[in-house]
Structure 1
Amino acid sequence: MESAGAESASLPLHPALVPLSHLLGRWRGEGEGGFPTINSFRYGEELLFSHSGKPVIAYSQKTWKLPSGEPMHAESGYWRPKPDGSLEVVLAQSTGIVEVQKGSYDAANKIVTLQSELVGNASKVKEITRNFKVVDGELSYVVQMATTMTSLQPHLKALLRKI
């Protein structure tokens, strides 16, 4: 996985990535989380969407506690857009959980919607959805989660700006 969006910028963009090219680069901001079984919390976050010239986007994410800066969660993986507007995503989380997600993208409205097909190595997490949207240069997302004890519930939301 590449360490900076600048490296991707020098490579030709694969035509399959054009509909999601607005995501490419480094995004940074703050979010808040909660769940019926945990206390609410705030966090800082950085996302990196990069490419290697192939029809896949490399994705990495890291979060930290506010205001201490202590590391929290991290995940990385790959997004594979398809010409029909569908999207395949694989992610590995620092907690040991892996996700296989399928979804769709609306390039005109800059919206990505993902739904887990598999949540592996998770004793309690049964389902995860992710919805991303870019409006006026800001990337927002909402993550929902279902566990063995809860139905699908809001878990995380954040607002990030490209840096």
Structure 2
Amino acid sequence: MTEGGPPLHPAIAPLSYMLGTWRGQGEGGYPTINSFKYGEEISFSHSGKPVIAYSQKTWKLASGEPMHAESGYWRPKIDGSIEVVIAQSTGLVEVQKGTYDSGNKVVKLQSELVGNASKVKEVSRVFEMVNGELSYVVQMATNLTNLQPHLKALLRKI
């Protein structure tokens, strides 16, 4: 059971350490854009079903002005595989497949499909718990560049 909520479905139990709201800062860059820093909040929640709801929002550190937002669902399987769907505020959608290692607290995702994108061809995401903090790295490939780092952040549970 989780506090005040529905019972935890066995399929999401291995990722229960991610449940909750995380906040911190990140930085981004790419060969075709200027580097930037941002604030971020990510939330992982569940309803008792074998799926984790995901939502994310970012903002400019100096002004608090909203930047990017996305939401979706994570579907971990008992065998250590995971499927993730994400809809971004820009209209881009990702279907990702990957693996999770609950012992090392690492989730690795690779895009199977990037939809409604004129330039983005591939996205990978790696989430990892490091000293009780959630870190991630997002890599991206476009029609002009190979897969390379785009975003990274370090978040603390609030």
TM-score for both structures, normalised by structure 2 = 0.97
Taking a change above 3 Å as real, the CA distance of residues 39 and 84 of structure 1, as seen in their structure-2 partners, is same
Partner SS, residue 15 of structure 1: coil
> Residue 8 of structure 1 contacts residue 51 of structure 1 at CA under 8 Å; is this kept in 2?
no
2:109 equivalent in structure 1: 114
Partner SS, residue 16 of structure 1: coil
Q: Aligned pair 1:98/2:93, yes or no?
A: yes
Moved over 3 A (4+): none
Shift of 1:147: 0.1
Letter in 2 for 1:73: H
Q: Aligned pair 1:32/2:27, yes or no?
A: yes
CA distance in 1, matches of 2:35, 2:96: 26
Q: 1:123 aligns with which of 94, 97, 118?
A: 118
Partner SS, residue 101 of structure 1: strand
> Residue 97 of structure 1 contacts residue 120 of structure 1 at CA under 8 Å; is this kept in 2?
yes
TM-score for both structures, normalised by structure 1 = 0.94
Q: Output aligned runs, 1:3-152, within 5 Å.
A: 9-152=4-147
CA deviation string 1:104-153 (max 9, x = no partner)? 00000000000000000000000000000012210000000000010011
> Residue 86 of structure 1 contacts residue 102 of structure 1 at CA under 8 Å; is this kept in 2?
yes
CA distance in 2, matches of 1:71, 1:80: 28
CA deviation string 1:89-108 (max 9, x = no partner)? 00000000000000000000
Q: RMSD in angstroms over aligned alpha carbons? A: 1.1
CA distance in 2, matches of 1:109, 1:45: 24
CA distance in 2, matches of 1:101, 1:92: 11
CA distance in 2, matches of 1:136, 1:144: 23
Q: What 5-or-longer segments of structure 2 have no aligned partner?
A: none
Shift of 1:157: 0.2
Of Structure 1 and Structure 2, the greater helix share is in 1
Letter in 2 for 1:18: A
Letter in 2 for 1:106: D
CA distance in 1, matches of 2:113, 2:100: 19
CA distance in 1, matches of 2:148, 2:16: 30
CA distance in 2, matches of 1:8, 1:69: 32
